[in-house]
Amino acid sequence: MLSDHPHRRYNPLADEWVLVSPHRNRRPWQGQVETPTVETLPHYDPECYLCPGNMRAGGVCNPDYSATYVFDNDFAALLPDIPNQVVAENELLQSRSERGICRVVCFSPRHDLSLAHLEPAAIRNVIDTWAAQVEDLHARPYINYVQIFENRGAMMGASNPHPHGQIWATESLPVLVAREQTAQAAYYARHGRTLLSDYLATELANGERLVYTNAHFVALVPFWAVWPFETLIISRRPLPLLTQLVAAERDGLAELLKRLTSGYNNLFQAPFPYSMGFHQQPGDGAAHPEWHLHIHFYPPLLRSATVRKFMVGFEMLSEPQRDITPEQAAERLREVM
């Protein structure tokens, strides 16, 4: 079988290829071993700059919030009020100003409750907050894209253990989103259906890479996955924007996020690091029937809670590569759901 030997798989969403080397996972490991994460967090940490009532690093005091809490990032990567400038010395040396807004979303006042530990009703509140933020930021005349994401765990660069995510609203369409825009638009022009609706139908018929499903969303390991236990969440209804989810769909997404993040923790019996993010249509005011709402989960762990996948060498210089097949990863994740 092809899955038993080195082969390449095509990612139509990003128009790129990934090398799969299933035999390579048997190699001995004498490389870096991570220190296992042990989370014994208190309900409230007086030293945490995200807990209710505490002073943030930027000198602002948090209110005594009781649900989700959103604030403008004190150390934002993007700023709203900067001169609009374009500098082009020649076609090889070009730069331009980039306005934007960066916000932090604290999922809960509790310092110790990640998405995996929140009840679905509390996760639904987070989803409603995300949607409200998208609506607010799309109303800004210079914002063309809203990126919702979470870096979970110190391994993924989280600077604070208090469960939180971020929202970066950008003036330009980011590179990876633009790549998905191009691929989805071309597919829709050819078929009159979204790329992900056809892909989802294929995966539901196959079943081999499914991880968890409910009436409104499907979580699966994509055929072209790069990270070992990468998952893709796709809405069953091909809507382009988070704000268009109706109440039942938001409940379904909350239930799936609870199941998936809990399953990740169960896989190696340890808090599971990941980067998660929504991909949705641009906020340029145009209709985008080609866009299909989806969420990427990129976790780095490979063999255990202490051995992770490194994207170096060939991956950085040539193309993405993975060691276990997506089918093997999906089977393992299904077992812990």
CA distance 163 to 155: 14
Which residues touch 247 (CB under 8 Å, ≥6 apart)? none
Nearest Cα to Cα of residue 240 among 298, 190, 164, 177: 177
- Using an 8 Å Cβ cutoff, are 167 and 188 in contact? no
Decide if 43 is catalytic. Answer: no
Neighbour count for residue 112 (Cβ, 10 Å): 16
| Helices and strands in the chain, H and E counts | 6, 16
| CB-side neighbour CA atoms (13 Å) of 193 | 9
Its sign, for the CA torsion 322, 20, 265, 165, is positive
In this structure, the dihedral spanned by the alpha carbons of residues 215, 213, 219 and 258, taken in order and rounded to 10 degrees, is 90
CA torsion sign for 206, 209, 214, 218 is: negative
Q: Give CA 179 to chain center in angstroms.
A: 16
Query: Residue 249 burial (CB < 10 Å; 0-12/13-18/19+)?
Result: buried
Catalytic residue (one of 117, 162, 164, 294): 164
Contacts of 206 (CB under 8 A, 6+ apart): none
Return the active site residues: 164
